Amino acid sequence: MTIDLTQRLKDRVAIITGGASGIGFATARRFAEEGAFVVIADVDPATGEKAAAEVGGAFRPVDVADEAKVNTLFDGVAEEFGRIDIAFNNAGISPADDDSIETTELPAWDRVQDVNLKSVYLCSRAALRHMVPAGRGSIINTASFVALLGSATSQISYTASKGGVLAMSRELGVQFARQGVRVNALCPGPVNTPLLQELFAKDPERAQRRLVHVPMGRFAEPEELAAAVAFLASDDSSFITASAFVVDGGITNAYVTPL
């Protein structure tokens, strides 16, 4: 029997939130290259439509913090395409007013929790509604390496939200393991995305303070994270669930980095 490893996701239907840019868009391209039909869900119709056209998929507008809109997204895709095989719950924000606990006010805290954590709860629940009856599915939730270690340059709500994503993914992975649905948390290190570029362009010293801790001496490229997500979405990871899948250039295991 010959297995075409370039078509691991052939005929599968995938939903990617935050799919119009960064890790989400790189993953959309990778999924499409491996044979999946990709539904890009994003808040921005202009970039979302363009991204969907580039990967030969579909675009659906969504506010991931709105329960009704999330349900409409997942139920609509399942009805239109007959299945949902993969949910990459990736949408997230990291606004400037989320900083130290001493200066971050409640509105900033709540906004980050809504987009980064509540959305994963809503999207996972909506995906499970279709995956459990089918007896199959892979959910990948974007957490972060900051869910695994502390930082003196804090973004307090972001860090807390990603810790919540990791804990929730672990619990869902255990809960639904015998029903054929795998749930894993992707934990990226710093990634060269528009979000990171915007943040660090304003403060090069802050960027360098982070970069020095990465043993590989560079930030990840979105395509490197996309490769990890494609693995978790595919049957190559069929015995992996409830995991913190770390792709961080070694940062979470480093004490002193190379010169």
158 is catalytic: yes
Strand pairing of 181-188 and 137-142? parallel
Tokens at 86, concatenated:
């993969």
* 205: three-class secondary structure by DSSP: helix
What does DSSP assign to residue 75?
A: H
Whole-angstrom Cα distance, residue 119 to residue 9?
25
Q: Which residues is 58 bridged to in the sheet?
A: 39
Residues 6+ away with beta carbon under 8 Å from 63: 43, 69
Rounded Cα–Cα distance for residues 209 and 93 (Å): 21
Tell me which amino acid residue 223 is: E
> Which residues face 16 on adjacent strands?
40, 88
Rounded CA separation 41/59 (Å)? 6
Mode of pairing for the β-strands spanning 37-42 and 13-17: parallel
Q: Which of 59, 158, 200, 245 is catalytic?
A: 158
Q: Report angle CA 111, 117, 121 to the nearest 5 degrees.
A: 130
Rg (CA), the chain: 18
If you write DSSP's letter for every residue of 209-229 in order, what string do you get? Answer: HHHTT-TTSSPBPHHHHHHHH
Q: Which residues are catalytic?
A: 158
